[in-house]
Structures are given as C-alpha cells and as structure tokens.
Amino acid sequence: MSRRWIVHAVLLAGGLIMITPFVWQLVVSLQTVTESMRMPPTPVPSWQWHNFADVFRTVPLGRQFLNTVIVTAAVTAGQLLLCSLAAFAFARLEFPGRGPIFLLFLAVLMVPGELFLLPRYEIMQGLGWLNTLQALIAPGVFGAFGTFLLRQFFKTLPRELDEAARLDGANPLQIYWWIMLPLVRPGLLALGLLTVMWSWSSLLWPLVVNTDPEMMTLSAGLASLRGQYLTNYPVLFAGSVVASLPVIVLFVVMQRQLIAGIAFTGSKG
Amino acid sequence: MLLTEERAAAKAAAQPGRRPRCDWLWGYGLIAPMALGLAVFYLWPIVQTLYLSFTESGVFGGQTWVGVDNFAALFGDEEMLGALRNTLLYSLLVLIGVPLAIVIAALLNVPGLRGLGFYRTLYFLPVVTMPAAVGLTWRYLYNGDFGLINYLLGEIGIDGPYWVSDPEFAIYAIAVVGIWSSLGYNAVLFLAGLQGIPKHYYEAAAIDGAGRMRQFFRITLPLLTPTTFFVMVITLINALQVFDLVYLMIDTKSPALAGSRTIVYLFYEQGFVQNSRGYAAAIAVVLLALILALTALQFRLQRRWVHYE
C-alpha cells in the first residue's frame, strides 16, 4: 500500500514541474509590468484583464489567429485527402513500380526539413507567393509520413472487402471512398490531430516565407514580438496564452485518440 | 506477417485475369497528386539544395559554381564549429531525458494506478504547447534578476547565473526545456512499449521470487529495448535540428548566442538573414550527413543492446 503512495508522490512532483511554467505564464499574463519584474516573484496576479485586449491592439493578433486557423484547416484537410488516396493505392492496388516509388516516398522521411527550405523559398518567390497564405499551405498538404501511417491502416483491412466490392462492379475510387475510408477512421483521426498540432506550431517556414505581420501565423507572430515587447512580459504572455490555448483544448478533448495515434507510430513506425 | 501478405498479393497478381489491367491506371492516378507534390516540394528541393551547396550567390543574383569551396570554408568557420559543438552537446543532454521518460512510463504502468488520465495530461501538456510560447515562458523563468528559477535557487543558497544570456550556461538551459517538452511524448511511446510486454514473464519471475526492482531490470528494461532504440533514434534526429527554442530564448545580439547557436540556427542566419544561399545549403548538407551518420551508427550499435523477441 505504501508503495502506491511513493508512485503518486513521484508522479505528482514531476507533474508539478511540468505544469508550473503554464501556471506561471497565466499568472503573469494578468499582472502589471512592475509586478512581473518584482523580486521575490508574485504568485498572485492583480487581474489585469486588459493585457489580453492590449495584445490584440498592439499586434495584428486577431489577423494572425485567423491566418493560423485557415492554414491549419487547409493543411489538415489536404493531408487527409492526399495521404489517404496515395496510401490506399500503395496498400490495395497492384501497379508496376509500386515498391520503388514507395521507397522514394520513404526516403523523403529521412531527410531533415531544412534541406527543402531554400528551394521552396525560391519556388514561392518565383510564383510571387511570398507573404501569402498559400505559401504556408501548399508545401504542407503533401507528406510522406501521413502516407506511410495510413498505408499501415489500409493494410490491416481484409482482402475480401475489395474483392466483394469488385464483384459488385465498384471501381477502386468507389472502394476507397465508400468502403475503405470509413474503416480507417482511427488512422485519419490520428493523422488529423498530429497534423493540426504540427501545423499550428510550426515556426521556421512561416518565419522565412511571410515577413509581413498581417500574413504571419501565431508562432511567427509571437517570435517577432519577442524583440519589441521584451520588457512587457504580461502582454507577451497574454499573446502566448491565446496562441497555445486552442491546441491545448483540442488535446484535452481528443486526448485518447491523439495518444493512440502517437503510440501507433511508435509501434509500427 | 508482412512478408506473407506481400507474397499472397504477388500470387494474386500473377494469376491472369484476376486483377483487371486498369488497376495500373487507378494506382498511378491515385498516387499522382501526392507524388507530384512530393516531387516539387521535397525531392526537387533536395537535388536543388545539393546543387546550391556547390555554388555562391552572385552580386546580381544567380549562382556561380565554386566546387567544394563552401564546405572547405565551413570547416574553418568558428561559428560553424561552435554550432556543431553546441548541437552535439544539446543532443547529448536531451538524450539524458530518455531514461527519465522510461521511469515516468514505468510509474504510469503500475497496475491499478488511479488517475492515469490526469497524470498523462500533465506530462503531455508541454508536447502540445506551441514551442514559441514555451520558449518565451522559460526565458522568463530563467531571467537572472526576477526569474522563478533563480529565486528558488536563492532560497537554498545558490546564486544562479544569468542563464540565457551567459554563453556558458545557455545551451544547458535550453536542453532542460528540450527535455521538458519531449518527456511526455517519449513517455507515451514507452507506455505503449511497456503494455506490449506479455504479463506471463512477470508472473514467472514472481514465482521465482524476483522482487519489483529485479523484475524491472531483468525483464522490463531488456524487453523494452526496441522501443528505447526507436525513441533514441527519433530524439536524436529531432535534437540535431533544434531551432525554435534557441530562436525564442536567445536574443539575436546576445553574447550567449556563441554558446547556443545550433546548426539550424546558423543555417537560418546564413540563408535567410545574410542571404548566402550557397553557404546555407552547404550547412544543410552537412546536417544531413551528420544525421545520416549518427543514425547509421545507432543502427550498428543496436545489435549489441537491443533484444528482439
């Protein structure tokens, strides 16, 4: 019985370290600048709710929020559609060169993302897409990881399914849409959640491709604030809270599915 | 299992008339959008970056071929050598977080533990939080004058340094945040690994009189090695590419940058601030080589310590 208490004590102590930065951020986001720089640190805020209004006024945070929502939604929808189409073909259809093409897809997974950035930037420059939302969306909708992940899901479905559907005269696209897609819903959900998480938070690409504050995502917007408002931590943290809250809420609601997805990539990836 | 499946598929394909020939067209058609996108935004850029790394940006735009000049220059470049050192040190430090994740996962895996969902939420929260926000928050906690960390250290009589503006301490401070942000993710992977260990091993060990600790070291750890290997490979690949935390926690003009500038940070500076595309491309190629080499090394070493059932 006492052993169980030790387990709880250790987990709680660790959990306290995990949660403190969040609590502290929330507290400071409701303080005055003077309070935020006081020593010893003040754990009680004076409830300066106007900090949240200030951050929306001093930076185009509302616009950046909208940008992030649009980009994340478009990237996630695109990933789900394109990855599932390709994954279905790789898992369920026979065509010459399937193996080598799939290996080429996998090779992309091994390459660090930085290798894509300079040429992508030039592509966007050539298209005149710098400082646009499509510059953030276009590269994001394609992904080797999602294709690989969903292929694993499609492969687990019994072969009799397609054969029965074929006897009924269905073509592969119909089989994909009407029969297979509903059955790989857990995979789609996992990929969707992971994509939302990555897309919402990604920094480097948005930072280089969109330098106009009106076209930035929240991540890049926050990063660009750090120089300007470094002495104003309360407003900075109000912005941070607004920026990270949506994904945190999504995680709390969809926790089970997200964790299952990550555990799956661990076992099969 | 995978092999037999593939063989069965091959057999089915070999039987004429079983699969309509137009399957080919469907196959190509369905992968076409993704293949095209990967070609344009992934494969072509790889080729292009390799090419760029052998060139130099001209005064009027355009690139001139300079052979291996960029690479030669890189290995005499103080900033690059510093970035290599900082990146490797950071990666090593972050790998220390892996055993920590195993301990957390093992505790979460205690049979009949109440509040699993609650703890999982606590530990996973940093994973889903935007790194930009994480960097800002920790930077505040690390503040030398009014930060919480130095306050707490002061309470136990330690005079803490100016963590993120001191070139000596910055990379350690960032590594702590790196561990903090990935702990929950790794613990989830380990928890899945732990749940895959068959119960009868423990039952047999208990009958033989092995205590909890002995079971952990003799059964849990060895049977968990495939997961440990996977987590280490992923952690190292990610750590070698660290950028966000350095960018958010260290000022562009801070003296601490010398002690915390990572390879990707240098790549960003050269490629997008200084606009030396060729030089930046060479940095990216060195990063690729480093990642491939260290991953290959891990795969070689795994034979010595990873047990597959």
ipTM: 0.92
Kindly list the distances between the CA atom of residue A83 and the CA atoms of A78, A192, B35, in Å, as whole numbers in the listed order. 8, 11, 10
Neighbours of A84 (CB within 10 A): 27
What contacts B66, CB < 8 A, 6 or more positions away? Answer: B54, B55, B56, B278
Tell me the nearest-neighbour CA distance from A156 into chain B, angstroms.
Answer: 10
User: Residue B104 is nearest to which of A14, A25, A207, comparing CB atoms?
Assistant: A14
CB contacts of A222 in chain B (<8 Å) are 130, 132-133, 136, 248
CB contacts of B280 in chain A (<8 Å) are 118
Tell me the nearest-neighbour CA distance from A72 into chain B, angstroms.
Answer: 13
Within 133-162 of B, beta carbons closer than 8 Å to A belong to 133-134, 136-138, 140-141, 145-148, 151
pLDDT in tens, B126-159: 999 999 999 999 999 999 888 999 999 999 999 8
Do the chains contact at A89 and B31, CB–CB below 8 Å? yes
Q: Of all helices (H) and strands (E), which one includes residue B64?
A: strand B63-65
Statement: residue A165 has pLDDT above 60: yes
Asked if A243 is an interface residue toward chain B (Cβ–Cβ < 8 A), one would say yes
pLDDT at B210: 85
Within 51-80 of A, beta carbons closer than 8 Å to B belong to none
Within 261-300 of B, beta carbons closer than 8 Å to A belong to 264, 267-268, 271-272, 277, 280-281, 284-285, 287-288, 291-292, 295
C-alpha torsion B88→B90→B92→B97, nearest 10: -160
Pinpoint the alpha helices (H) of B39-96: 44-52, 69-74, 78-95
Best CA proximity match to B280, nearest among A202, A209, A204, A115? A115
pLDDT in tens, B95-131: 999 999 999 999 999 888 889 889 999 999 999 999 9
Buried residues in A145-164 as b, exposed as e (16+ CB within 10 A) = bbbbbbbbbbbebeeeebee
| A214 within 8 A of A60, measured Cβ to Cβ | yes
CB contacts of B130 in chain A (<8 Å) are 200-201, 218-219, 222, 240, 243-244, 247
Q: Of all helices (H) and strands (E), which one includes residue B102?
A: helix B97-108
Tell me the nearest-neighbour CA distance from B29 into chain A, angstroms.
Answer: 9
pLDDT in tens, A49-65: 999 998 888 788 899 99
Q: How far apart are CA B280 and CA B193, in angstroms?
A: 39
Within 227-246 of B, beta carbons closer than 8 Å to A belong to 227, 230-231, 237, 240-241, 243-244
| B62 within 8 A of A118, measured Cβ to Cβ | no
What value does the CA radius of gyration of chain A take, rounded to a whole number of Å?
23
pLDDT at A267: 62
Mean pLDDT score, A188-195: 94
pLDDT one digit per residue (tens) for chain B, 309 residues = 444 555 555 554 444 444 556 788 999 999 999 999 999 999 999 999 999 999 998 766 678 899 999 999 999 999 999 999 999 999 999 999 999 999 999 999 988 888 988 999 999 999 999 999 999 999 999 998 889 999 999 999 998 899 999 999 999 999 999 999 999 999 999 999 999 899 898 889 888 888 888 899 999 999 999 999 999 999 999 999 999 999 999 988 889 999 999 999 999 999 999 989 999 999 999 999 999 999 999 999 999 999 876
Tell me the nearest-neighbour CA distance from B218 into chain A, angstroms.
Answer: 20
Query: Which amino acid is residue B240, in one-letter code?
Result: L
What contacts B172, CB < 8 A, 6 or more positions away? Answer: B93
| B252 within 8 A of A208, measured Cβ to Cβ | no
User: Can you tell me whether residue A154 is helix, strand or coil?
Assistant: helix
Asked if A160 is an interface residue toward chain B (Cβ–Cβ < 8 A), one would say no
Q: What angle do CA A136, A141, A144 make, to 5 degrees?
A: 125
Tell me the nearest-neighbour CA distance from B153 into chain A, angstroms.
Answer: 12
